[in-house]
Structure formats: C-alpha cells, structure tokens
Amino acid sequence: MRQPLVEQRSQLRALTVDLELILAVCNGEDAIREQLAAATTWLLALGVAAGVAVVDRGSSDRTIEAVDEFAVRTLVPVRILGCSASGWGAAALRGVRTSRARFVVFTETPDLAGRIRELDHAVRVLDGGQHIVCLGPAGRRLTVLQRAVAELLFSDELPDDAGFVPRLRDIPRHAGIRMAAHGSSRATAVDATLVRSR
C-alpha cells in the first residue's frame, strides 16, 4: 500500500492559522484545482496567516487526489478531511470543529479575486469585537465567523449551503453574539451596514 506523507495523514488536526477558508466539496475533481488556485492566490495577500480546509463529502472521483496535488505546490496550508454525514451543513460543521483558526470563512465563490479587501475588512471588524461578518449579496456571499461562534451556531442549526446568513435566535445561547451584515445594492459600494448587538 502507498504510504501517505505524514502531512497527508490525520489531517483532522489542523495547522494553527488565524483564518481558515472551509470548502465543502463532492465530486469536484474538475473544478477543485481552479477553485483552490483562485482562493489561495488571494489568501496569500491577506494580512493574516490563512489556510484552507477541504471537506470531502464522499467523492467517488479523484477530488482528494487533486487536492493533494495542489497542496504540495502551494504556500497556503491546505488540509483535507472527510465527512460521511450527508448535507453541506454537516461538512461545514466538520470543518469548523476540526479547525484551529480564530476565524472561519465560507464563500459561495471560492475565487477571491477583488474581494481580498472585503475579507481584510471583515477580519478587522471581527478583531474589533464582532462575532460574525456577512459580506456581499446572494450568489457572492462571504461569511466570516469566529470559529467558536460558528460551532455554536452550526450545532443549533446546520446551514444549507455556502450562501447562508447566520440566524441569531432569541435564546440564551445566542446572547451576546454580534453580527455585522454588510449588504450591497450596487456592485462597487458597500452601502449599508446592519449591526445587531445583543
């Protein structure tokens, strides 16, 4: 049997990074290289240490091999793990639970070209005391959360896809969670900010 490299084994234990982009994929052999290239190129430009966690939801193709091949060629730490439970939300929760990052990112479009300033801004907002930052309209949504908050929210209600907007409910567990939603009605400008302080 092929013996995997040490870094390919037991990747449930993530490297310590400040921010981790979580990609839940299934049978994405054809697209995953481009997605990772698009994401990691811009993550390198971010002011914080960033990594990528690819959560495989049971691919029958060579998605994992494609990620392996990419991971050895990039400076951004890329880890791959599996999730046998069905649904995008379960995979997202697996990624969150196994992450060691302070912040986790979910994006509908892994191509972060032109969005790195938004991401940088989100990190600064989170550093400023917010727990969740949602950026962009549906279809281009980027959600950055504190890892512990993401775990709490996902444990309550699994999101359906990467375009989710966290739902803060009026329950004691959600008390004190602060979310900043930066919506945009025009492509170029952030024109509205909603901060719900609880």
Partner 1 sequence: MKRRYRGTPGEHVVWLNFKDGSHPYGGGAEEYMHQVTARMVDAGQRVTIVTSRPRGAARRTHVRGAAVRRMGNAYTVYPLALLWLLRNRRAIDAIVDACNGIPFFSPLAVGRRVPVVVLIHHVHQAMFHQHFRFPVAQIGRWIERVGNRVVYGVRTIAVVSPSSRTEVRKVLGLIGPVHVAANGQEPLLVPGATRSEVPRIVCVGRLAPHKRWDLLLRALPRIAELIPDVELHLVGDGPCRAELTALIAELGIGDRVTLHGRLENSHRNRLLAAGWLTVCTSEVEGWGLAVTEAMSLGVPAVVLASPGLRDCVRNQLTGWVVARPQHLAGQITSALIELEDTAVAALWARRCRAWAGRFTWDATTDRLIGLLAGEDARRANPDQREICDLSTVVDLPVHLAARIDYTRLSDVDQVDWDLPDPADAGSMRVRLLLAGYDECDATALLQRAGVDTEPPTTWIWVARPADLLGWKRVAGQRAADLRTYFKHQAGVGTGMGRV
State in angstroms the smallest separation of the CB of 120 from partner 1: 32
Binding mask 64-103 for partner 1 (x = CB under 8 A): xx--x-----------xxxxxxx-------x---------
H or E stretch covering 124? helix 116-127
Token output for 183: 């919506």
Nearest to partner 1 of 4, 128 (CB atom)? 4
Rounded Cα distance between 74 and 21, Å, is: 15
Applying CB under 8 A, does 16 fall inside the site for partner 1? Answer: no
How many chain residues bind partner 1 (CB under 8 A)?
29
Binding mask 155-194 for partner 1 (x = CB under 8 A): ----------------------------------------
H or E stretch covering 196? strand 192-196
Residues in the chain: 198
Rounded Cα distance between 145 and 148, Å, is: 8
Applying CB under 8 A, does 32 fall inside the site for partner 1? Answer: no
Rounded Cα distance between 39 and 113, Å, is: 8
Applying CB under 8 A, does 128 fall inside the site for partner 1? Answer: no
Expressed in angstroms, the distance from the first to the final Cα of the chain is: 54
Q: Hey, which residues does 53 pair with through a beta bridge? A: 22, 79
Nearest to partner 1 of 18, 68 (CB atom)? 68
Contacts with partner 1 by CB under 8 A lie at 1-4, 8-13, 27, 56-62, 64-65, 68, 80-86, 94
